[in-house]
Structure 1
Amino acid sequence: MSWFIEYYDDSALMIKVKETLFESKGIQHIQIFETAGFGKMLVLDGKIQLTERDESFYHEMLVHVPLFMVDEPKKILVIGGGDGGTVREVLKHNPDEVVMVEIDDTVINACRKYIGIDGGALEDERVTVLIEDGMEYVENCKERFDVVIVDGTDPNPVSESLVKEDFFNNCKRISNIFATQAQSPFIQKEYFIEIYKSIKKAFENYRIYINFVPTYPLGLWSYMIASKNEIEPDYDKIKQRWLERKISTKHYNPDLHVASFALPEWLKKEVKGD
């Protein structure tokens, strides 16, 4: 047994590791561990991306919040998400087409072999997987999507373009609704504010929502949803769609959907002037 430690500022998270299943250094430093209490765990450049035990907390809120705010989400674009969890959740809405753009095919191959949380989603005939840079894809894209979802890593040389205003402007051009993970507003304030300010410049309408993911930095995680149209969670509509689509989840439900938009006072102050 050994310990994996993820450091952030003056704190850290320790998880007991039973075995290293995979490690590769290329575009990113990829590690996959078998842990003692959280199942298999994916780490990119020293940052935990998922554990089997709580990945649903993250993927379900990233996907179902924007998709349940659409009458019929038929065409979805996912930027990043090489582990397959986001596409898995998108397919529960029975779309006609899903495009996933991932820059690092080693992540896809390693996750399918050693973790498998996609449950075969990446092999679904409705899914097209493209190995290319997400920023370049949206710059050159001539199609439109009902929803665009960004499932990216912490901002680093590989993913930093995905938190810039130009990227969000291009996503606005090709989508009706846009959603992205937005880091921890508590322990990663600089990352969160950078994403928030860029989205604020690109979109007329935007909202922050939050959720608890135990193995992410100190547990609190944020997301942002944006659109040309007003964004106002309607509980009755969301509940009706939830019942009609008969989607099975481990974490998400309509009550949590609406509650996630209620922000604590300290976070409201962080974005005061919005």
Structure 2
Amino acid sequence: MEWFIEASDNYGLMIRVRKKLYEFKGLQHIEIYDTVFGKMLVIDGYVQFIERFEASYHEMLAHVPMLTHPSPKKVLIIGGGDGGTAREVLKHDPDEVVMVEIDRNVVEACRQHVGIDKGALDDPRLTLLIENGIEYVKNCDEKFDVLIVDGTDPSPASEPLFSPDFYRACSRISDIYAMQSQSPVLQEKEFRTVLRNTAVFRERRVYLSYIPMYPGGIWSFLIASDSSLNVELDKIRRRFEERRIETEYYTPEVHVAAFTLPRWLENIVREMGLEV
């Protein structure tokens, strides 16, 4: 067995791999490995998910905004070509899910070699569009209950997904918006950029999940809306039970606890003008 190494300027991640299952260089450099922790998707050198740990990412990205909304019937996902976020969103039995993924090769590679979507990508409630999500949002004249951005780390291709113009367009077409917002431990600059640029929303909150497959382990998410985001535990628990959702990582109690931030992160969040 060999090692896959994800290296950045000041830190790195090493995963033992059995073999490489797939590689394609097109719009993005896509690799899929068989590892000691299950299948692993890598895009442009960065780990996107590992099967053993992916629930702590996809469940927290999807269920926190979906359960914040009292009745999410129409959902938009930008990115998420592996299907993990769509899988979790569909557990809420929405009427319609639109998923906009820019790279068809990610979808097909994950369908063929991984399958974490568990059939979500072929669900009749889901419409898959292979196009630029930024342009889709910019030109969209529909309204969505929940909009989730499941994107990669900032790169030349994804950088517009972190711009104020994109967030402004998202706020126009969604009641509740959610995204992954990088590692506040090892990517503080990128984390601060997200907080600064999402100021177009009236209300924003940061929450956390423990994700071993990402450097530093602590990963942040941002939920935003032009309406109140305060939902009590009893109400979240009732919605969770009424929708009969089964999860591996997420619970209503984890949902609430995820918004409790360590002091150093509270200080950053307050400094950037957000509630804690």
TM-score (norm 2): 0.97
- C-alpha distance in structure 1 between counterparts of 2:73 and 2:142, whole Å: 13
Aligned residues: 272
SS in 2 for 1:272: helix
- C-alpha distance in structure 1 between counterparts of 2:263 and 2:8, whole Å: 23
Residue 9 in 1 paired to residue 27 in 2?
no
Residue 126 in 1 paired to residue 120 in 2?
no
Unaligned runs of 5+ in 1: none
- C-alpha distance in structure 2 between counterparts of 1:156 and 1:131, whole Å: 19
Amino acid at match of 2:121: L
1:26-64 Cα deviation digits (max 9, x unpaired): 1111000001x2100000011000001000110000000
Amino acid at match of 1:10: N
**In the alignment, is the contact (CA less than 8 A) between 2:91 and 2:245 conserved in 1?**
yes
Alignment of 1:172-191 (within 5 A): 172-191=171-190
**2:213 counterpart (207, 212, 215):** 215
Identical aligned pairs, as a percentage?
A: 55
Q: Which residue in the other structure is 2:196 paired with?
A: 197
- C-alpha distance in structure 1 between counterparts of 2:254 and 2:270, whole Å: 24
Unaligned runs of 5+ in 2: none
Q: How far off its partner does 1:233 sit?
A: 3.0
**In the alignment, is the contact (CA less than 8 A) between 2:11 and 2:215 conserved in 1?**
no
Q: Which residue in the other structure is 1:95 paired with?
A: 94
1:79-100 Cα deviation digits (max 9, x unpaired): 0000000000000000000000
The alignment's C-alpha RMSD in Å is 0.8
1:69-124 Cα deviation digits (max 9, x unpaired): 11111000000000000000000000000000000000000000000000110101
Amino acid at match of 2:162: V
Residue 28 in 1 paired to residue 28 in 2?
yes
- C-alpha distance in structure 1 between counterparts of 2:24 and 2:165, whole Å: 31
- C-alpha distance in structure 2 between counterparts of 1:71 and 1:14, whole Å: 41
Q: How far off its partner does 1:8 sit?
A: 2.8
- C-alpha distance in structure 2 between counterparts of 1:20 and 1:11, whole Å: 23
1:160-214 Cα deviation digits (max 9, x unpaired): 11111000000000000000000101101111111111112x1010000011001
Residue 114 in 1 paired to residue 113 in 2?
yes
- C-alpha distance in structure 1 between counterparts of 2:225 and 2:269, whole Å: 18
- C-alpha distance in structure 1 between counterparts of 2:111 and 2:97, whole Å: 18
**In the alignment, is the contact (CA less than 8 A) between 1:8 and 1:187 conserved in 2?**
no
Q: How far off its partner does 1:272 sit?
A: 2.9
SS in 1 for 2:68: coil
- 9-18 vs 167-176, which moves further: 9-18
Amino acid at match of 1:255: E
- C-alpha distance in structure 2 between counterparts of 1:77 and 1:132, whole Å: 13
SS in 1 for 2:13: strand
**1:262 counterpart (257, 260, 267):** 260
SS in 1 for 2:191: helix
